[in-house]
Chain A
Amino acid sequence: MAAGNDDEELRKAIAASLAEQPAADENADIQRAIEASTTPQDLNALTAAEQDKLTIEQMNAINDEIQSNQAMVGDRVGVAAALAGEYDGNANAGFARGIAELDGKYASLRRVRKDGNCFYRGFLYRYLEHLCELQAGRGAGAPHPELERVRGVVRASKAKILSVDYEETAIDMFWEMLVEVLDDVPKTTLDQWHAKMNEEHGVAMHIVWFCRVLSAAQIKLNADRFAPFVMDETGAADVAEFCRREVEPVNHECEQVQIIALTEMLEIPVAIEYLDGSGTPSKLVFPEGASPVVNLLYRPGHYDILYEE
């Protein structure tokens, strides 16, 4: 994947992402909820520091509510059945047309919790689910070649991560958990995998966060290639600051740069259907030309998992 046309691909993908209409994201939803729940008089009486604190407390409360109301990964449901209700009465008929088109193309959808981890969680869930299916097809025999491949990549990732200045003390436990999950694939049923990815405070949050480190390490290892994009988009001084502020923090939303970096690091392609009000969903594949197993649906600020059959 280290071919010379990487730059060109990355540039195209970023250009496509910039062409996406900027829209409300999850954090904006949270912010709106905060504004709705606090009267202006209250806020005026507070110092800036107190307001910051209040914001953090309210965000925590809203995050707790999301945690208690939304499964980390839901059951499979029909695309139209899952989405139509959300856009009932939406003045933009483009959404309804887009949903109808996706419904014809995809058999079902799994909702992913809206906590800022949706891309990483959806990606990991679907890919590991696919691995479990592949392995189940082989019975108790030798590991599937794809399982062998990804185990090799993840085992080798630790040295790469440490080479870009992460502390072993900090990342070791997370790396070990993902290695263990992959080692366990041959004896994991789909139901067990679903349960594991829905266990609060369990392995799931740890391996989901480790995907952030994999993505950040790839960005740092290819700083020359990624720097122009991350600096343009976020004003970060360098890739290290970008990773510290935008990639590593738990619950921080994922932009296209992180997606490209993660798919490169693991060499697992991903396809994303972008649904906006324009009426026709547009599909982007990372890297271009691949045939991904992992299909995700992007609506402004959020990712869910799509299934072709």
Chain B
Amino acid sequence: MYKRLRKEAAEARRSTDPDLLLCPSEDNLMDWRAWVRGPEGTPFERGVFELEIKACGQYPLAPPTVRMVTPIFHPNIHGVSGEICLDILKQEWSPAWTLASACTAIRALLSAPNPDSPLNCDAGNVMRAGDMDGFRATARQCVEDHARGGMPSRDALGDLAAPGKAAAPPGRCSTWTAILVVLVPVLWALSAI
């Protein structure tokens, strides 16, 4: 397990991927941090999102636990816990994935929000109601409020990857959501009149 994680750490150090920054914590190869850039053409494009990654003793036969630290308005990412609903992190995990490719899959999830079986019911409901403009506006606002810290520099990584230096606590996107969820039906009703 450590052999594999050491290889992944060496690879992460060599990486020049402009959209993903990944590194283990200085004192524990089981704890990692990652930053992914929001994909262009999505409401997340101006944001950089921090991920907390924990490998278990069975890694890579068992998937890593990945949590989004940066608050985000997305149907498949829990607004408070940061839990991510992605098949390859659960029943479709295979050791053919690495921490880096799993982060890339999470980035792809930002481009493909799926409102069925949502972890963030507010985001799911807005999308299911067909209000894509409302979804995008709320998601963009959440990016402005929480995800504008930019990509950390690779040189400064040693410090940033230390545990306990995570960004702001998650969960604040739900206030916005609550307002929106109330507003959308009201506006809808008004427009009908």
Contact = CB atoms under 8 A, between A and B. Distances in A.
17 contacts: A48-B118, A49-B85, A49-B118, A49-B119, A52-B117, A166-B96, A169-B11, A170-B96, A170-B97, A171-B96, A173-B7, A201-B57, A201-B58, A209-B95, A244-B94, A248-B96, A249-B93
A59 B60 CA distance: 19
A213 B61 CA distance: 13
A104 to B, nearest CB: 40
B98 A173 contact: no
A239 to B, nearest CB: 14
Interface string B159-191: 000000000000000000000000000000000
A250 B93 contact: yes
B8 to A, nearest CB: 6
User: Which among A167, A169, A209, A213 has the greatest number of chain B C-beta atoms within 10 A?
Assistant: A169
A52 B91 CA distance: 11
Main secondary structure of the interface of A (DSSP, over half): helix
A249 B96 CA distance: 9
Interface residues of A, number: 25
Interface string A197-212: 0000100011001001
B95 A48 contact: no
Contact of B8 (A169, A205, A248, A250): A169
B40 interface: no
Given A48-B116, A56-B91, A172-B7, A250 B96 contact: no
A59 B90 CA distance: 11
Nearest to A208: B61
Interface string B84-128: 010010111111111001000000000000001111010000000
B98 A206 contact: no
A206 B116 CA distance: 35
